[in-house]
Amino acid sequence: MATNRTYDEIAIGDSAEITRTCSTNDLLIFAHASGNRNPLHLPDTDWNGDGQIDKPVAPSMWVGALISSVLGNILPGPGTRYRTQTFEFHRGVSVGDELTVRIEVTDKKPDGLLDLQTSVRLADGSPVATGMAEVEAPEQKIEFDVSELPALLIERHRHFNRLITLAKTLAPLPTAVVAPDDESSLAGALMAADEGLIDPVLIGARNRILKAAEKAGLSVAEVKLVDIEDESEAAAKAVAMVHEGQVRAVMKGHLHTDDLLRHIVKRDGGLRTKRRISHVFVMDIPGRATPVLISDAAINIAPDLNTKVDITQNAIEAALSLGLKNPKVGVLSAIETVNPAIPSSLDAAILSKMAERGQITGGIVDGPLAMDNAIDVQAARTKGITSLVAGHAEVLIVPNLESGNMLAKELTFIAHAEAAGLVIGAKVPVMLTSRADDSRARLASCAIALLYDHWKRTGHPVADFDMTGDGA
204 and 276: one domain? Answer: yes
275 and 221: one domain? Answer: yes
Check residue 466 and give its pLDDT: 66
Residue 17's domain spans which residues?
2-148
Kindly indicate the confidence band of residue 270, based on its pLDDT and cuts at 50, 70 and 90: very high
State mean pLDDT over 256-282.
Answer: 93
265 and 207: one domain? Answer: yes
* Last residue in a domain, options 148, 180, 212: 148
Distance CA 315, CA 331 (A): 11
State mean pLDDT over 200-216.
Answer: 95
CATH of the domain at 62: 3.10.129.10
Kindly indicate the confidence band of residue 202, based on its pLDDT and cuts at 50, 70 and 90: very high
187 and 144: one domain? Answer: no
42 alpha carbon, distance to own chain's centre: 18
Look at the chain and report how many structural domains it folds into: 2
Asked if 448 and 273 touch (Cβ cutoff 8 Å), the reply is no
Check residue 465 and give its pLDDT: 78
State mean pLDDT over 217-236.
Answer: 95
SS3 for 242?
helix
356 alpha carbon, distance to own chain's centre: 29
Residues in Cβ contact with 286 at an 8 Å cutoff, skipping those fewer than 6 apart = 153, 154, 155, 156, 157, 415, 416, 417, 472
Task: Kindly tell me if the per-residue pLDDT of 340 is higher than 80.
Answer: yes
pLDDT tens digit string along 409-468?
999 999 889 999 999 999 999 998 775 676 678 889 999 999 999 999 999 999 887 654
Buried b (16+ CB within 10 A) or exposed e, 164-181: bebbeeeebbbbbbbbbb
Residues in Cβ contact with 430 at an 8 Å cutoff, skipping those fewer than 6 apart = 249, 250, 251, 252, 260, 264, 271, 277, 422, 423, 449
* Last residue in a domain, options 148, 180, 199: 148
Asked if 328 and 367 touch (Cβ cutoff 8 Å), the reply is no
286 and 184: one domain? Answer: yes
pLDDT tens digit string along 53-106?
788 999 999 999 999 999 999 999 999 999 999 999 999 999 999 999 999 999
Distance CA 146, CA 441 (A): 39
Check residue 467 and give its pLDDT: 56
pLDDT tens digit string along 171-187?
999 999 999 999 888 99
State mean pLDDT over 384-413.
Answer: 95
State mean pLDDT over 191-215.
Answer: 95
Check residue 470 and give its pLDDT: 46
Check residue 435 and give its pLDDT: 59
Distance CA 12, CA 137 (A): 13
* Last residue in a domain, options 83, 118, 148: 148
